[in-house]
Amino acid sequence: MNIGRKRTCIWVAVFLMLTPVMSKALDNGLARTPPMGWNSWNKFGCKGINEKVVRETADQMASNGMKDAGYEYVVIDDCWQTGRDAQGNIVVDAEKFPSGIKALADYIHSKGLKFGIYTDAGTMTCAKRPGSIGHEYQDARQYAAWGVDYLKEDWCNTLPGQNSESSYTLMREALKAAGRPIVFSICEWGSTKPWLWAGAIGNLWRATPDIQDCWDCKRNWGGGGLTQIFDLMDGIESYSGPGHWNDPDMLEVGNGGMTTDEYKTHFSMWAMWSAPMLAGNDIANMSSDTKEILLNKDVIAIDQDPLGQQARRVKKTADFDIWSKQLADGGRAVALVNRGKTPTKITASWTDIGYPDSLTASVRDLWTKKEEKAVRGSFSAEVPSHGVVMVRVKP
């Protein structure tokens, strides 16, 4: 073979090897920016969920500014299902949802919102309700007939050796065959490194175990608070992007386990990471502090930035982190996070965030709304304990 032909063959082989990789993002056209909405689990769990709560939540979301701010999906988590009928159809918990799921979906749609539901890839959900294994196509058809727009699939009670990638692929195919656009949320808690394979299968995947409503509290079964999640989200940023997002779990803002400063840090970091923003509190009865956090449009704009980058941790000391995220307009969102017990001054230099020292830029604080113009080389801020200063830098 002459050298020219050999080279061509090598390039063709390289191209063929790369092709599957290049076409490897789920292409259902959904979740081009991180999905926003509400999920019942963090506040209402299994016991507290019922159709009244879901309707009231939808009423509030449509009228309290959340819908206008981008919150869209109303998602029922575990405990809406009780068994299967003789044909294998999933049976709805008639005590909690006496009007049925279709009526609830219609109601949510009538408010201009979208409707989401939950299942599990194993035999039973984590709360021991029926899972979808062996019924994937049947369940997906049912969800589509009800008008489901978003499906979260959990990973409890799976069979020994059950493979996560193939199980979630099966549900992806079932949803596709059902013929309705449905955002697919994979929830195996980061246990089989889903960022490595889930981009081709789901629109979002949990990258972390269950969030706890606390600043720093590692549970022995894996769950953790904010500082545990910071460390787990660091280093997987390149796997996230439009249509396929790393998911650090639903928001705890307003659930009472953290201070207002800690909740601001929580909300800011989810925006920095382009994380799905599913409020997890009782939004029909929230404090003005909680509402102010959930409705901070400047922070939400960072979450929803069309470039869809996940922030990188560009500096870490014993007491603080600096995270930086490139934005579609060439600017940066920067978060100075004080992990320590006392207030501290934190300085981010332009070189930390990928700019030359000589650059001048405006720096706008997204919580206080104060703006400094023509800043050069670096900026500094006093950050309260467990608090954040989050800014938008515009050259």
Tell me which residues touch ligand GLA (CB under 6 A): 41, 77-78, 125-127, 154, 187, 189, 210
Tokens in use for 116? Answer: 């989401």
- Residue 189 C-beta: closest distance to ligand GLA, Å: 6
121 vs 389, which CB is nearer to ligand GLA? 121
Rounded to an integer, what distance in angstroms lies between the CA atom of residue 136 and that of residue 167? Answer: 9
Please state, in angstroms and rounded to a whole number, the distance separating the CA atoms of residues 360 and 362.
Answer: 7
- What residues contact residue 81 under an 8 Å CB cut-off, 6+ apart? 90, 91, 92, 93, 119, 125, 129, 130
Q: Which is nearer to ligand GLA, 254 or 331 (CB)?
A: 254
Closest to ligand GLA by CB, 217 vs 375, is 217
Q: For residues 345 and 384, is the Cβ–Cβ distance under 8 A?
A: no
- 119/296 with CB nearer ligand GLA: 119
Q: What residues contact 256, with CB distance under 8 A and at least 6 apart?
A: 213
Given 59, 106, 210, 352, the catalytic residue: 210
- Indicate if 154 belongs to the active site: yes
Min dist. Cβ of residue 63 to ligand GLA (A): 27
CA distance readout (Å), 90 to 43, 44, 100, 315, 378? 25, 22, 12, 49, 58
Q: What is the DSSP string of 320-342?
A: EEEEEEE-TTS-EEEEEEE-SSS
Q: What burial letters (b/e) apply to 139-158, b meaning 16+ CB within 10 Å? A: bbbbbbebbbbbbbbbbbbb
* Count of CB atoms situated within 10 Å of the CB of 196: 10
**Least distance in angstroms from the C-beta of 251 to ligand GLA:** 12
Listed residue (236, 116, 240, 249) closest to 189, CA to CA? 249
Mark whether 68 is an active-site residue: no
In the complex with ligand GLA, the residue whose CB is nearer, 6 or 219, is 219
End-to-end CA distance of the chain: 54
Q: Using alpha carbons, select from 70, 96, 128, 98 the residue that is nearest to residue 276.
A: 70
Smallest gap from Cβ 328 to ligand GLA, in A, equals 30
Side chain identity at residue 299, one-letter code: V
At 233, list the tokens. Answer: 């989200």
d(CA 342, CA 2): 70
Of residues 9 and 159, the one with the C-beta less far from ligand GLA: 159
Q: Cα 106 vs. chain centroid, distance in angstroms? A: 25
> Which is the catalytic residue, given 154, 247, 282, 305?
154
State which residue, 136 or 249, has the beta carbon closest to ligand GLA: 249
Q: Which is nearer to ligand GLA, 118 or 323 (CB)?
A: 118
For 313, the token pair is 């941790």
Q: Find the shortest distance in angstroms from Cβ 75 to ligand GLA.
A: 10
The CB-of-347 to ligand GLA minimum distance in angstroms stands at 37
Supply the minimum distance, in Å, between the C-beta of residue 129 and ligand GLA: 8
Output the smallest distance, CB 37 to ligand GLA, in A.
Answer: 14
Residue with the shortest CB distance to ligand GLA: 126
CA pair distance 118, 150, nearest whole angstrom: 8
* Dist. CA 27–CA 299, nearest whole Å: 27
* Residue positions annotated with a catalytic role: 154, 210
